[in-house]
Structure 1
Amino acid sequence: MPMLPENPLLLYVTDPMCAWCYGFTPVIRRLKALWFGRLSVQVLVGGLHPYAQDPLTSPEKDKLAVSWHRAQGKSNLPFDYSFFLQKEAIYDTEPACRALLTVRHLRPGLTLEVLRALHSAFYADGWDITDTQVLVEVLRPFGIPENLFLAVYETDEIYQQTQSEFKMVEEMGVSTLPSVYLDHPMWPRLISRGFCELPELEERLLQAMQIPY
């Protein structure tokens, strides 16, 4: 019966514009640090609300704002609510997901840290991370050359790969962001769906690692 590897791989399904992911990414970062050398983390883009073209309606804004408030209450992280003052607020999460996938191609070791920076830029600072130049500014401290980033970010290939990853995540059965899976050649095993604190996440991981496939 196939067993899990000694150095397991966690699949962290997320979105840079997901409020609960903003709260949960610090938990993943702490878990990775706690398990340094014994655990790997790969970030997958889930596509919370990709390809949106129409501005949010008032009821949609209200529903989203409630979710943000709940996430803030759980995570105790700063939130900037000026997004909801925009008359033509379009909530398209594809550009930020594509930017994160681009970073994963160019500098895979920075993916989780860039995700944290994208979260903070959008939620704490109120930056429009659907704008390409804003994305460039978020990435600047990480030493990724602007021309290199744009050379990949604006290609048809990365568009298609982003769309393919959205589809793959859907086929995995992901219905909630954030979600965490324990990777395995046979099929990823769900560890966590939605926000949870570090002790609970670690307990679920340990339990999953003890169950043979």
Structure 2
Amino acid sequence: MQKLPENPVLMYVTDPMCAWCYGFTPIVRRLKALWFGRISVQVLVGGLRPYAQEPLTSSDKDKLAVSWHRAQEKSQLPFDYGFFLQPQAVYNTEPACRALLTVRHLRPGLILEVLRALHSAFYADGLDISQTEVLVKVVQPFGITENLFLAVFETEEIYQQTQQEFELVERLGVSTLPSVYLDHASGPRLISRGFCQLPELEDRLLQALQIPF
């Protein structure tokens, strides 16, 4: 039988402005708590709609709103739909992804907590987390001052690292957010594609680790 790693790493591919990820992040956090000391979680930013510049069309908004409603029904989390009332709504997820990478540099142990806060700011509070001043306010409660955040967030290095992570996720073959992989010596193994509940996620992890029920 293949020898399992002592501390398996789950690769959670997400985006702070992904509605299904908003519902799924609490599930990943609960799994991490249940498996405390037995697994680690690595957060990768998938770039749902990076670098978008054009406002959403009415058709785009309709499709997005349907997806949000479905995510709300599954997750039972609050959603603010004021975003769709903006006539010039631009859905650019790159700044929020870059903010998460910034947090990884500054407070790596808090990355899931900050991801949850970013989700809530956008979906529950209706804040535009593509704006730097909003991102600054979201991360401040986690002990990251404005000057410290901007010192990393606005560098060319973090822009490049964000782009490189988008490319890494593409090479993994990620087609749906959220997705979860188990990092194996033979290469990442897909555990979950899309939203699922905690029991299903845990079952898939157990199967991947070849641990008997």
Unaligned runs of 5+ in 1: none
**Structure 2 CA distance for aligned equivalents of residues 187 and 7 of structure 1:** 16
**2:203 aligned residue:** 203
Structure 2 partner of 1:147: 147
Paired residues for 1:12-161 under 5 Å: 12-161=12-161
- Alignment gaps of 5+ in structure 2: none
Q: Would you identify which runs of 4 or more consecutive aligned residues in structure 1 move more than 2 Å? A: 1-4
CA distance in 2, matches of 1:141, 1:148: 13
**Per-residue displacement from partner, 1:75-113 (whole Å, max 9, x unpaired)?**
000000000000000000000000001101111101000
Deviation at 1:122, TM superposition (A): 0.1
State the partner residue of 1:173.
173
Q: CA deviation at 1:180?
A: 0.2
Letter of the structure 1 residue corresponding to residue 175 of structure 2 = S
CA distance in 2 between counterparts of 1:194 and 1:52 reads 23
Look up the match of 2:3: 3
Structure 2 SS opposite 1:126: coil
SS across alignment from 2:123:
helix
Q: Secondary structure at 1:180's aligned position in 2?
A: strand
- What secondary structure does 1:130 align onto? coil
Percent identity of paired positions between Structure 1 and Structure 2: 81
CA distance in 2 between partners of 1:42 and 1:207 (Å): 20
Give me the whole-angstrom Cα distance separating, in 1, the residues matched to 2:4 and 2:45: 24
TM-superposed deviation, 1:4: 2.9
> Aligned residue pairs: how many?
211
Classify the secondary structure of the residue corresponding to 2:110.
Answer: helix
Residue 148 of structure 1: how far off its partner (Å): 1.0
| Distance in 2, Cα, partners of 1:11 & 1:123 | 23
Please give the alpha-carbon distance, in whole angstroms, between the structure 2 residues aligned to 1:3 and 1:198.
26
Distance in 2 separating the partners of 1:92 and 1:146 = 22
What value does the CA root-mean-square deviation take over the aligned residues? 1.0
